[in-house]
Amino acid sequence: MIIVGIDPALVITGYGVVQVKGTSLSLIEAGIIQTSAKETTAKRLNKIYQGVLKLINDTHADCLVLEKIYSHYKHPATACILGQARGVICLAAATKGIALFEYGATRIKKAIVGKGLASKSLVQAMVAHTLGLKTLPAYMDVTDALAMAIAHNYISRSKI
């Protein structure tokens, strides 16, 4: 099974693709889809959409995983922008006919580390260890995306 994790944002959308063979996980690809603030929102969202479509096609993904949306009441505009990016990613999954899964941040952390309130650095270390990475991803968005893909594998195999 090939799982794509995506950490959406309008500026930098991180992605991580893992392959599951039996009980082993391996990294297929990881990176970012980056847009420029100089572009219109419509062009930026299209770039994310097209990038995710290409990623699904190139990796022959079986499913896509996103973190459930969370926003602080003091920052409603951030939630709207994030919602737009998530929307085009959901559309890409639907267009390609692949399953879409969403988990809360604490559920992902619990699956990866065993504690729902684990620090980002601990999650990052466990992602690197699980995938046998010699260096950490340059962007935390990529680490978060990989964590989502890994967590989905664990969660779908057992009820954590």
| Residue 159: pLDDT over 60 | no
**7, 29, 62, 144: the active-site residue:** 7
Q: Is 58 a catalytic residue?
A: no
User: Whole-prediction pTM value?
Assistant: 0.94
78 confidence band (pLDDT: 50, 70, 90): confident
pLDDT score at 72: 63
Q: What is the mean pLDDT of residues 7-11?
A: 95
Instruction: Indicate whether 71 pLDDT > 70.
Output: no
The secondary structure of 47-116 as a DSSP string is HHHHHHHHHHHHHT-SEEEEEPP---TT-HHHHHHHHHHHHHHHHHHHHHT-EEEEE-HHHHHHHHHS-T
Catalytic residue among 58, 102, 141, 144: 141
Could you give the CA distance from residue 58 to residue 43 in angstroms, rounded to a whole number? 22
144 in catalytic set: no
Check if 141 is active-site.
yes
Largest CA distance in the chain: 45
All residues at 6 or more sequence positions from 86 whose CB lies less than 8 Å from its CB, including other chains: 8, 66, 69
Catalytic residue among 39, 58, 67, 102: 67
Domains within the chain, CATH numbers bracketed: 2-157 (3.30.420.10)
- Pick the more confident residue, 72 or 28: 28
pLDDT score, position 158: 78
User: How do residues 16-63 score in pLDDT, each as one tens digit?
Assistant: 999 999 989 999 999 999 999 999 999 999 999 999 999 999 999 999
